[in-house]
Amino acid sequence: MIRPSTPILILSLCLGIAACSGKSTPAPEKDGAKAEAEAAPQLAAITPEHAKAAGIETAAAGPAEIHETVLLYGSIKSNSERQQEIRARYPGVVRSVAKRPGDRVAKGELLLTVESNDSLEPYAIRAPIAGTVLERRVNPGEAIDGSSTLLVVADLSSVWAEFAVFARDLGLVRAGLQVQLTGDAGQAGAATVAYVAPSGSGDTQSVVARAVVDNREGRWIAGQFVTGNVVVDNRKVAVAVAAAALQKIGDDPVVFVQTDKGFEPRKVDIGERDADSVEIRQGLAAGERYVAKNSYLIKSELLKGSGEDD
């Protein structure tokens, strides 16, 4: 049962529901879905002013592009092409370390000083790039040689979203495809698949797909989980409506079409769909106006007019 809310109350108090063909009482032996469909009035007599007050919005049906997508799961990683491992030029003893993980550094900024074993003179090691210190593996007083990584600095204005692609999707996901990103903290963005590994992991039976993500605003954090909807195909359709427009009365999918007297439920035959749009094969013509937002309010009022609860 739909609980009363402010928009529904507006409709209930201000609007009249007109049954153009009369209201019928469902026979007891009919199933609930069929009875609901037969009992519902055929018109919601709502004025444009009342519709606007209730938050009901209309749009014109028309051509759209339906996107076929593959959902992938992965995580954000630093872009290793913009990452530097800091090493000593000469063996010696670390005398000072100026930075900690999380610190931002400018190119040329002092990172640490090392006393050379040969000259016993200290020399400075400076940041080769601007970025953020990701790792610190050394402290003052430690002896080092030229092979040890002392710090890791990365430019996080660009990061990688890496996804696991399993066998069922290997033929679909390829470089150059668009991917819609959603982070575990609610972030959203778009990127392009830049790389799909030629071989996979024996442990997970998957291969890595990677997208390069613009992170100049700092919204994406290395290590966080992310989902990606990869658009693997686009199909143009002649008539489509917003996904939120579709409702069911009984077993029939309907959209509410705007008329001079109000909104009528129109049974439609649906085809392809994605998160945003639904193809309409029959029942609605291009150019007809329909309820694109808050269509559930009209359905609720129609069923109240029939004495049914949704």
Q: Give the pLDDT score at 275.
A: 85
Q: Which of 45, 23, 35 is nearest to 301 (CA)?
A: 45
Q: Give the pLDDT score at 301.
A: 79
Token readout for 192 is: 């392009």
Q: Give the pLDDT score at 279.
A: 96
Residue bearing tokens 């590994």:
197
Mean pLDDT by 10 residues, the chain (310 residues): 47 45 46 55 76 89 93 96 96 97 97 96 97 97 94 97 94 94 93 93 84 96 95 93 94 92 92 92 96 90 62
Q: Is the pTM of this model over 0.85?
A: no
Q: Give the pLDDT score at 78.
A: 95
Burial profile 21-59: b = 16 or more Cβ within 10 angstroms, e = fewer: eeeeebeeeeeeeebbbbbbbebbbbeeebbebbebebe
